Amino acid sequence: MELQEQLKEIKTQLRLSMNGAVSQSMREKGLAYKLNFGVELPRIKSIADGYPKDHALAQALWKEEIRECKILAGLLQPADSFLPEIADIWVEDIRNIEIAELTCMNLFQYLPYAPAKSFHWIADEREYVQVCGFLTIARLLMKKGDMNERVENEFLDQAVCAFLSGTYHVRNAAMTAIRRFMQHKEENAFQVCRRVEGMKDSVSEAEQLLYNLVREEIA
């Protein structure tokens, strides 16, 4: 099937599955899309299952300013043909937390260069670039949490800084990664506790919040 025919077929399936109530609910929650059919995630996954992973199709879907097409792109993009430069282009194009979370889960965590790239992203100043970096690190920590001491220190420096000074979504993504780091082994949990122990009585609300979230994690 030609690429344009595949795109047309996919959009037809999306229209047939559209849910206006879901789309409206997402808008009310601040998830803004140029076009959102409101198709629920299991149905999107079912549509993806009908196609083999294909680089050209995934790239074409990503370029569509449609929520469901971007989600499908992450599901259908083969990791081995997804070059680091393309990963940067995709990340720079992400504008909301749903696409960030799903693309990290469905694609970014599987990239062979994900560890290095995610550290590059968390050092960026743009909101969703940082978010993708921390969410990818969190995913990697769930699979294989080992880091050498230098990398651990760099990660914790960046994560604590992002939590204290970042936006709402950056803060949440950084905390997700910190939690995964702590859960990997007891030594990591102690290391984070040492980092925040001086924040207990801080005048900074952000520092107090971080301290309390860390304490909750080990409780």
Euclidean distance between CA atoms 203 and 192, whole angstroms: 20
Q: Which residues is 66 bridged to in the sheet?
A: 35
Q: What is the pLDDT of residue 27?
A: 86
Euclidean distance between CA atoms 204 and 219, whole angstroms: 23
CB 112 within 8 A of CB 79: yes
Sequential pLDDT tens for the chain (219 residues):
799 999 999 999 999 999 988 889 988 888 889 999 999 999 999 999 999 999 999 999 999 999 999 999 999 999 999 999 999 999 999 999 999 999 999 999 999 999 999 999 999 999 999 999 999 999 999 987 678 889 999 999 999 999 999 999 999 999 999 999 999 999 999 999 999 999 999 999 999 999 999 999 988
Euclidean distance between CA atoms 133 and 123, whole angstroms: 8
Alpha helix positions (H), the chain: 3-16, 20-28, 41-48, 55-63, 67-76, 84-93, 97-106, 114-122, 127-143, 149-165, 168-184, 186-196, 205-218
Single pTM value for the model: 0.93
